[in-house]
Amino acid sequence: MSAAAIAVLLAALQAPAGPGQAASAPAQIGGIEVRGNHTTPDDTVLQLAGIKPGDAFDDRTLAAIHDRLEKSGRFRSVEVLKRYQSLTDLSAVLIVIKLVELEGITIDNLEPGPWRRFRSQTMWLPILRFEDGYGFTYGARMSFVNVLGKRSRVSVPLSWGGERRASVEVERGFEHGPLTRVLATGGVWRREHPSLDIGDRREGATLLAERAVTPWFRVGGTGSLQSVHFGDTEDTLRTAGVEATLDTRGDPAFPRNAIYASVGWDRLWFDHAPDTNRLSTDVRGFLGLFGSTVLAVRMQQIRGADALPAFEQPLLGGTSSLRGFPLGYRYGDRLAAGTLELRIPISSPRNIGRAGIAIFADSGATYDARTTLDRAKFDTGIGAGWFLQLPVLSFRIDVAHGLGGSTRAHVTLGVTF
């Protein structure tokens, strides 16, 4: 039957009875479906709803069922819908009850208390990583899901070692509206400048508001306020900026035939240094060659419009920009670096993890705001490495020789979820 015919039939069935026509039968509940209750039995839901098949149905029935289920205190969300069991008998109403159960519910405990619900909403994740130039960072991240509404998360990362951090992160996602995600962070963190051996401690907050225009393109705005303690130097840094990211990577851990490009502009205000602007770009391309081999190319640049304080100058060297040289080998108001890398997996794609080797060449330079890029002094490093990627762990070791310098090993380790 066509959609037009069905519409005509429904209109005819819903039309008031005319002279000589029998009045339609009173509506009643012909059937009930309960969905989403992974632990609470259907019979318990129906008892709480106060309904059964054969009960009379009127305009107030749906609201009454919804109120009774909500007041029971056993469900995080309740939705009650009206459907029909037949196109020819509109007196038989099908009730559909959609539920989201409270966290902490078990078969033995259908009414969890506040403490059990709190524990069930809490996730503990380890923090363990080794960063070139900073060493080991270890600790734990405690997260609470949906405590500020649907699609929300509150996290408390606590770490020690290379980065000492105690902060609170509040994230909220949106299905509709101008924003897709908002992330606010506040706390204190500290690490050592790898070249100057000076402690860099910051206290403050950052805010990111983001819009996913498409699944592979997003734009956003950022802002931050930080109190900076860099050795004997104390300053206040305020920033505001915009950023845009294009990301077609299906598998960020080992992308193939994909592009990643990020561009960001920031305005920086200091109390004890001239205010300035900063432009950051990071462009990466991944081209599949023979077999599973991938050629990866990366170009990155950070440009301060004017001289930057030492605590804000980008660092050259290490895994992030120039292997064969230590992180902080050079630093300045501006940074430019590029990488060409051939990645060759040696494990089967069907394995739970991925292992392989890489052959690479890096080149990079830092220079002050009064110098143009063509006058900057570039250094180059070449080498090879071995990588291992598991579902929750990534490890990589690179051995590189800095032309005109020395040979160094660079290790990266991280626990990911």
Question: Which tokens is 382 given?
Answer: 């070449």
Write down the pTM of the prediction: 0.74
Residue range 254-266: mean pLDDT, rounded: 96
Q: Which residue has the higher pLDDT, 307 or 9?
A: 307
The tens digit of pLDDT for each residue in 378-414 reads 999 999 999 999 888 899 999 999 998 889 999 999 9
User: Can you list the domains of the chain with their CATH numbers?
Assistant: 25-111 (3.10.20.310), 121-415 (2.40.160.50)
Q: How many residues does the chain have?
A: 417
User: Does position 88 have pLDDT exceeding 50, yes or no?
Assistant: yes
The H helix count followed by the E strand count for the chain is 4, 21
Which among 181, 273, 176 has a CA at the least distance from the CA of 220? 181
pLDDT value of position 19? 44
What percent of the chain is predicted at pLDDT more than 70?
Answer: 89
Both tokens assigned to 384? 């090879």
Sorted by sequence, the CB contacts under 8 Å of residue 62 that are 6+ apart come out as 80, 81, 82, 95
In sequence order, which residues have a C-beta less than 8 Å from that of residue 199 and are 6 or more positions away?
Answer: 190, 191, 192, 193, 229, 230, 231
What was the pLDDT predicted at 36? 84
Q: Predicted confidence band at 76 (pLDDT cuts at 50, 70, 90)? A: confident
Strands 330-331 and 92-101: unpaired
Tokens of 31: 């059937």
* Distance (Å, whole) CA 313 – CA 334: 7
**Confidence at residue 9, expressed as pLDDT on a 0 to 100 scale:** 47
Average pLDDT over residues 52-69: 91
Sign, Cα dihedral of 82, 84, 85, 91: positive
pLDDT confidence bin for 15, thresholds 50/70/90: very low
- pLDDT confidence of residue 90: 80
Determine contact, residues 327/320, Cβ cutoff 8 Å: yes
Query: Residue 144: pLDDT band by 50, 70, 90 thresholds?
Result: confident
Higher pLDDT residue, 13 or 115?
A: 115
